[in-house]
Amino acid sequence: MKSLPVNRLVCALLLVLGLGAACNRTEPPPDPIPAAELPAALEAAFAQAKPEAKTQASQVAALVRARDYPKAFAALQALATRPGLSKDQLRVVSGATLTVNSLLQEAQTQGDTKAIQTLENYRRDK
Q: What are phi and psi of 86, to 5 degrees?
A: -75, 170
Rounded to an integer, what distance in angstroms lies between the CA atom of residue 106 and that of residue 43? 25
Q: Spell out the residues 6+ positions from residue 114 whose beta carbon is closer than 8 angstroms to its own.
A: 70, 107
Sign of the CA dihedral with 67 first, then 71, 73, and 75 last: negative
Q: Is the dihedral of CA 91, 16, 31, 116 positive or negative?
A: positive
Mean pLDDT (the chain) is: 86
pLDDT at 2 over 60: no
Q: How confident is the model over 24-77, as pLDDT tens digits?
A: 567 778 889 999 999 999 999 999 999 999 999 999 999 999 999 999 999 999
Percentage of the chain modeled with pLDDT above 70: 80
**Can you tell me the mean pLDDT for 72-101?**
95
Q: The whole model's pTM is what? A: 0.75
Average pLDDT over residues 100-122: 92
